[in-house]
Amino acid sequence: MFELHYHMEGVDLEAGLRSLRQSLKQIRSLLAWEQLRQSETRPDRQFSFQIYDPIEIDLRNEYSFFLSISFQIHSILNDNTINVKIDRDSIKRQLMKIEQKMHCLNLHQRFLT
């Protein structure tokens, strides 16, 4: 679990971005597992692979974690009183790319509607 820490010398937003990238990777893995499970549990197949797997819960938890870290990074970037160790514009660009990749997965439609 990641939590942004404030230090005298600033905030390490690179660690936050790494955490977001890892979370995105985990979500993609969960979605791939879900797709595999769905393909194996089609009703037209006589022998289907069926196990209990709380993918929906894991996806919701990981997506919530992603949103929380993203929100923390945005809050820090918008607070000019906080000393940030790296160029804010660079962090914003990287954050935007990660968020765009997440947006393409359409989880916002799945969980927020």
pLDDT digits (tens, 9 = 90+) for 71-91: 999 999 998 888 777 788 999
Give residue 45's pLDDT.
59
* Domain membership of residue 26 as a residue range: 11-112
Does the pLDDT of residue 10 top 60, yes or no?
yes
Alpha helices, DSSP H only, in the chain? 13-40, 55-78, 88-104, 107-112
1 found inside a domain:
no
33 found inside a domain:
yes
81 found inside a domain:
yes
64 found inside a domain:
yes
pTM over 0.75: yes
Number of folded domains that form the chain: 1
18 found inside a domain:
yes
Reported as a pLDDT band with limits 50, 70 and 90, residue 8 is very low
- Give 29-72 pLDDT, tens digit per residue: 999 998 887 777 666 655 555 556 688 899 999 999 999 999 99
